[in-house]
Chain A
Amino acid sequence: MTTEVKKQETSMSTPTLAPHQDAPTGHKAGRVGGGLFDPKQLVKSLPDAFRKLAPRVMAKSPVMFVVEIGSVVSTVLAIKDPGDWFGWVIAIWLWLTVLFANLAEAVAEGRGKAQADTLRKAKTDTVARRLVDGTEEQVPGTLLRIGDLVVCEAGDIIPGDGDVVEGVASVDESAITGESAPVIRESGGDRSAVTGGTKVLSDRVVIKITTKPGETFIDRMINLVEGAARQKTPNEIALNILLASLTIVFLLAVVTLQPFAIYAGAEQSLIVLTALLVCLIPTTIGALLSAIGIAGMDRLVQRNVLAMSGRAVEAAGDVSTLLLDKTGTITLGNRQAAEFVPVKGATEAEVADAAQLSSLADETPEGRSVVVLAKEKYGLRERHQGELENAEWVPFTAQTRMSGVDLTEDGAGRKVRKGATGSVIAWVREQGGTVAEDADGIANRISEAGGTPLLVAVEDARGARVLGVVHLKDVVKEGMRERFEELRRMGIKTVMITGDNPLTAKAIADEAGVDDFLAEATPEDKMTLIKREQAGGKLVAMTGDGTNDAPALAQADVGVAMNTGTSAAKEAGNMVDLDSNPTKLIEIVEIGKQLLITRGALTTFSIANDVAKYFAIIPAMFAVAYPGLDKLNIMGLASPESAILSAVVFNALVIIALVPLALKGVQYRPVSADRMLRRNLGIYGLGGLIAPFIGIKIIDLVLSLIPGIG
């Protein structure tokens, strides 16, 4: 680590960022896309769809339960009058309507099941090496208790979730994250958490178990992706209530219709009334509602994010304030050397040469970036530690905050140093040298511009002196400014959190285009900010990984914990990002919104559909009694039977037709609410009004080809 400021920041976020930190994922590829939908899944899920016909399962969806009762009634009627082909056909199509609804849900669940199977493979029974009073004993992993200490060495599968309390090891977490590169896990700090089912690749660690068997992260993951732990979310419950009340309204309309019809001299058969009822109640959305919810969770899982509850996914759509950690989210993980500034009397090339030499022994990303800059800008070939003879390397340490090399060239000694301002000045003075007058000025100017100055000094025949300053700069990730622009259009405020001083923070905030920033942030500051935003009625989302982030993660409405983080952080958040990519927060918000939009769009579509169905069925029922009502048959349907049948068939087929949309989700673009509403109302409102007129007519044309119907 190079500077004081940097050190502060490391307490806020992990220094090592996971693989996907470079660019916001999925940004260019047309927003939140969905998983692919394979028609074969329909066939595969068929057995599940039949199993779900059990009334106990059906009762969870009031709308579809009514359809199932209707199916039973029409079947009984068809059996009582077996000669009536019309009754049989209606009964079959009503059953198909229920089946299609179940199929939609089964397909949505099926995608999670495949994932769960893969996870189960990782969860093979392990034998744990439990430490009891310093001696090891072999016990099955399932018998571990919270607080037990276990030993894992290279090749061992970690038997349960826990924290490393002793040692360092590289761990293969591909079973959970799908990422093959091993990660380092060490005792203390923010990288101590290990997950059961992952594999130790090297070294030996002692792990303190923090969860009971059966409740481990992998267990919860399996439950989540399988949908076993799925509970209806608040908005889903509210929508279900509305759908149920619409069902009651239409039930009343149909039940009371019979006395009216009898008075008009046109008594209706129970089959026709059942068909009318099923067509009117909002079956489309009723059938797809739970599939939409499962698919929403699934879209997150496909992006390696685990939502601990559907409630969190919904909340993500409502988020109005995003707290983003500067490092890794807005800027690339580390500062990079941007420029070499010589003091009076030195040249840029001299500074570059000295800086490069002194950084060869500095393995921090900052040190590497100095070498890279020297190569790219000044054409200095990278020298290797081995090719310089008589060189004594001084590696960077957090205590000295300097790195460098002592060279003996042609008998003359040359010492080069690079590091934090204070350390280098102290070194120069120690060597009896002087600090150039303008060195301070340059360093201050760099600080004010939001950068970090590193001094480069040398001691040779001319004595010890400062040569110049390396300008370390935070590099804002590409495309972030546009991203924040989009978020602003969506009505979301972005706040950058950083441990930097306000000056530095402001410079980066301006460059990245965030709305606000919190400088020199402590976990308490973060908490205060969240509470203040929430008091104003806003919903806050944040990412975090450290134990000191845990309270804020718990307080935030959407708290995304990084998988690399501590178990305390993972416990506190309501989502875990397995890729540990903080930029993903933006995608999570988009997925939340997409889930709600899909629900609204299909509800609107479903209700708008009813208009056409009335125009098909009402004239078919009553044109005999009141010939004038035939004028309502604006679609010109062939016969009363084919009209009613066409409406029922359309009602069933539209469910299957919309399964891909329910699973993929309605396309989401980050535009203002106004434009989004206009667009979706056009497609799903007007479209929902018009589509069934066309669909029913086409089905009627096909049906009328069958002799006896047309």
Chain B
Amino acid sequence: MSPVLAGVLQLLALVAALALAYRPLGDYMAAVYSSDKHLRVERWIYRCIGANPSVGMRWPAYLRGVLAFSAVSVLFLYALQRLQGSLPGSLGFVSIDPDQAFNTAASFVSNTNWQSYYGEQAMGHVVQTAGLAVQNFVSAAVGIAVAVALVRGFALPRALGSARAGGTPIRSGELGNFWADLVRGTVRILIPISIVGAIVLVACGAIQNFAGIHEVGTLTGGTQQINGGAVASQEVIKELGTNGGGYFNANSAHPFENPNAFTNLFEIFLILLIPFALTRTFGRMVGSVKQGYAILATMATIWLAFVGLMMWTEFHGSGPALEAAGGAMEGKETRFGIGASSIFAVSTTLTSTGAVDSFHSSFTGFGGGVTMLGMMLGEIAPGGVGSGLYGMLIMAIIAVFIAGLMVGRTPEYLGKKLGTREIKLAACYILVTPALVLVFTALSMALPTPPDSIYNTAQNAVGGSGAHGFSDVLYAFTSGANNNGSAFAGLNADTQWYNTTIGLAMLLGRFVPMVFVLALAGSLAEQKPVPETAGTLRTEKPLFAGLLVGTIIIITGLTYFPALALGPMAEGLSS
């Protein structure tokens, strides 16, 4: 079987599996967030944290919940790392430096999982399981909660009957209860799927233990340290929650995390599972599954196009080495091959995952560009858990606003008018990440010391530093501000500058947009819905999905075109 055919077959199997899970999971999640019953374990949690899950929250209260919870999480994770040296079960690792501890805390709380540390050389069992793994669950649950709040904003007050949370009917302007959404997402969605997923991974060879460090002799006569750990359980939520922070530095390329071709495909499935299914949840909650399908079609179109593009560039790279290997094999595992690695790379960068089973820095110039562009689109196809949906809905608002005017009505989406306030908030949302990426990258190129972190400084024809070196920095901030977490490995990011700036980019890139999303949700929730007529822009039609794809590509593509031209394009076009 040719590698291309293998890649295509794996793609088909993946699509089939996602299609099978789409409806049941989407409907189940809609039920979870609309139910008015509390599980016993949830009641117990509410009592512990002192929250009343039955109180309806308006957007400022909901936002306070999100920010307070996340702030406490950052502080807790920071403290845990700083105290690691004096905690038991730390495998003898010392405490983490302040800048790196800040960076890592910001990274895991913001669902980014950028790692400027080497997992097997820095983090013990306690930090890995009590700190990082916990954040893998709750940061994902926060993302879904914010998305659900926005969906409720669209659905209200039309769906007053169904969109209930915590037993009390939602009143106009209320977005549900943050604590209920957070706990339910964790207890009813993420944990059950993770348990099943972890068992599958263990059955296929991923490790799950609390063993210490084994030192083994290698064939060449040297020695190698091999860590044990609760890997499978962390691996599953790493993918499912679109987190991406590996137990080991090699991430999903490490055989303990990702033993074979099947687990590789299974991990891609986990990455895409919830983000895609949330479009069904959205459709259910706004009372029209077709609206969900239109969003799904938009996401799927972009994702498939990127997979196609990636496979094409990776299989057809020119040069003697590439032709001998049948494609760009550098940085890719022979266990997975070019096809599966391409699917993984696209899926991890089009979601906010950032897990890798191959090394993006070693992809062809264009291939690296595809991973970067995926993140630059705002990770909305299908995007991170929750964040993908709300990011896509913001783009839908922009598309409806520009093109919707062309049907001769002031724009409305899902029956809600897009007035000055809504557009102001959506415009602010789309400004945040480009500002963070471009400004921090520009500072890193312009200041005297940060460029020293670039390993790859091959000179170009007229004596400037290499395009690839620039891509390393651009990738780092794109990944951070978009909460992806993957990296071009050609950059030493464990410096004070990068730890601090990328940490800031991650926090601001996660929580500032959330402020705008929740404010928008609040403003939508207060609006009386406009009934649909024959003169209404039909947002459930293929034409609209096409329009949305175009808007996303043009608006975000144009923002980054000059930067991409000097990085991956310069590299890709010169070869």
- Across the interface, do B561 and A604 meet the contact criterion of CB distance under 8 Å? no
Complex CA gap A453/B61 in Å reads: 68
Residues of B within 8 A of A699 (CB): none
Complex CA gap A624/B424 in Å reads: 40
Query: Is B16 engaged at the interface, CB distance under 8 Å to the other chain?
Result: no
Residues of B within 8 A of A604 (CB): 402-403, 406
- Across the interface, do B464 and A264 meet the contact criterion of CB distance under 8 Å? yes
Query: Is B467 engaged at the interface, CB distance under 8 Å to the other chain?
Result: yes
Residues of A within 8 A of B427 (CB): 241-242, 244-245
B contacts with A: majority SS: helix
Residues of B within 8 A of A685 (CB): 403, 547, 550
Query: Is A222 engaged at the interface, CB distance under 8 Å to the other chain?
Result: no
**CB under 8 Å from chain B, chain A span 22-41:** none
In the complex, the chain B residue whose C-beta lies closest to that of A686 is B550
Tally chain B residues at the interface, Cβ within 8 Å: 74
- Across the interface, do B445 and A259 meet the contact criterion of CB distance under 8 Å? yes
Looking at the complex, which one of A242, A280, A320, A668 makes contact with B398 (CB distance below 8 Å)?
A242
Complex CA gap A608/B419 in Å reads: 23
- Across the interface, do B538 and A673 meet the contact criterion of CB distance under 8 Å? yes
Complex CA gap A618/B427 in Å reads: 26
**Proximity string of chain A (577-600) to chain B, C-beta cutoff 8 Å, 1 when within and 0 when not:** 000000000000000111011011
Decide yes or no: A629 and B565 within 8 Å by CB, A263-B464, A611-B558 being known contacts: yes
Decide yes or no: A622 and B535 within 8 Å by CB, A249-B559, A265-B465 being known contacts: no
- Across the interface, do B401 and A537 meet the contact criterion of CB distance under 8 Å? no
A contacts with B: majority SS: helix
Cβ distance B444 to chain A, nearest Cβ, rounded Å: 8
Complex CA gap A600/B418 in Å reads: 14
Decide yes or no: A597 and B407 within 8 Å by CB, A253-B559, A627-B461 being known contacts: yes
- Across the interface, do B534 and A489 meet the contact criterion of CB distance under 8 Å? yes
**Proximity string of chain B (529-565) to chain A, C-beta cutoff 8 Å, 1 when within and 0 when not:** 1110111111001011001001000110011111101
**Proximity string of chain A (534-556) to chain B, C-beta cutoff 8 Å, 1 when within and 0 when not:** 00111000000000000000000
Residues of A within 8 A of B353 (CB): none
- Across the interface, do B573 and A677 meet the contact criterion of CB distance under 8 Å? no
Residues of B within 8 A of A260 (CB): 441-442, 445, 470, 562-563, 566
Looking at the complex, which one of B402, B420, B462, B535 makes contact with A624 (CB distance below 8 Å)?
B462
Residues of A within 8 A of B442 (CB): 255-256, 258-260
Residues of B within 8 A of A677 (CB): 403, 406-407, 537, 543-544, 547
**CB under 8 Å from chain A, chain B span 288-319:** none
**CB under 8 Å from chain A, chain B span 445-475:** 445-446, 451, 460-465, 467, 469-470
Residues of B within 8 A of A302 (CB): none
Residues of A within 8 A of B535 (CB): 320, 490-492, 672-673
Query: Is B404 engaged at the interface, CB distance under 8 Å to the other chain?
Result: yes
Decide yes or no: A263 and B451 within 8 Å by CB, A242-B427, A249-B431 being known contacts: yes
- Across the interface, do B570 and A628 meet the contact criterion of CB distance under 8 Å? yes
- Across the interface, do A622 and B565 meet the contact criterion of CB distance under 8 Å? yes
Cβ distance A674 to chain B, nearest Cβ, rounded Å: 6
Looking at the complex, which one of B407, B451, B571 makes contact with A673 (CB distance below 8 Å)?
B407
Looking at the complex, which one of B398, B415, B462 makes contact with A265 (CB distance below 8 Å)?
B462
**Proximity string of chain B (420-436) to chain A, C-beta cutoff 8 Å, 1 when within and 0 when not:** 10111001101100110
- Across the interface, do B565 and A632 meet the contact criterion of CB distance under 8 Å? yes
Query: Is B2 engaged at the interface, CB distance under 8 Å to the other chain?
Result: no
Residues of A within 8 A of B531 (CB): 320, 536-538
Query: Is B528 engaged at the interface, CB distance under 8 Å to the other chain?
Result: yes
In the complex, the chain A residue whose C-beta lies closest to that of B459 is A265
Tally chain A residues at the interface, Cβ within 8 Å: 79
Complex CA gap A478/B438 in Å reads: 63
Decide yes or no: A263 and B445 within 8 Å by CB, A253-B563, A537-B415, A678-B543 being known contacts: yes
- Across the interface, do B534 and A673 meet the contact criterion of CB distance under 8 Å? yes
Interface-facing stretch out of A88-96, A147-155, A232-240, A385-393: A232-240
**CB under 8 Å from chain B, chain A span 209-266:** 234-235, 237-239, 241-242, 244-246, 248-250, 252-266
- Across the interface, do B566 and A626 meet the contact criterion of CB distance under 8 Å? yes
Residues of A within 8 A of B40 (CB): none
Query: Is A625 engaged at the interface, CB distance under 8 Å to the other chain?
Result: yes
Complex CA gap A629/B411 in Å reads: 40
Residues of B within 8 A of A330 (CB): none
- Across the interface, do B543 and A676 meet the contact criterion of CB distance under 8 Å? no
**CB under 8 Å from chain A, chain B span 33-49:** none
Query: Is A488 engaged at the interface, CB distance under 8 Å to the other chain?
Result: yes
Complex CA gap A501/B435 in Å reads: 66
Complex CA gap A259/B450 in Å reads: 13
- Across the interface, do A632 and B408 meet the contact criterion of CB distance under 8 Å? no
Complex CA gap A596/B420 in Å reads: 15
Cβ distance B390 to chain A, nearest Cβ, rounded Å: 18
Query: Is A610 engaged at the interface, CB distance under 8 Å to the other chain?
Result: yes
25 contacts across the A-B interface (CB closer than 8 A): A235-B419, A238-B401, A238-B423, A244-B427, A245-B428, A249-B559, A253-B560, A260-B563, A262-B446, A280-B558, A488-B534, A536-B531, A537-B415, A593-B409, A596-B409, A600-B406, A600-B407, A608-B554, A611-B554, A614-B562, A632-B573, A674-B538, A677-B543, A680-B407, A685-B403
Sorted from nearest, which 9 A-B pairs have the closest CB atoms? A265-B464, A600-B405, A491-B535, A593-B408, A491-B533, A628-B573, A628-B574, A245-B427, A491-B534
B-side interface residues toward A, CB under 8 Å? Answer: 398, 401-411, 415, 418-420, 422-424, 427-428, 430-431, 434-435, 438-439, 441-443, 445-446, 451, 460-465, 467, 469-470, 528-531, 533-538, 541, 543-544, 547, 550, 554-555, 558-563, 565-566, 569-575
Q: 6 extra interchain contacts, Cβ-Cβ under 8 A, other than A242-B398, A597-B408, A632-B573?
A: A248-B431, A249-B559, A253-B559, A264-B467, A611-B554, A625-B464
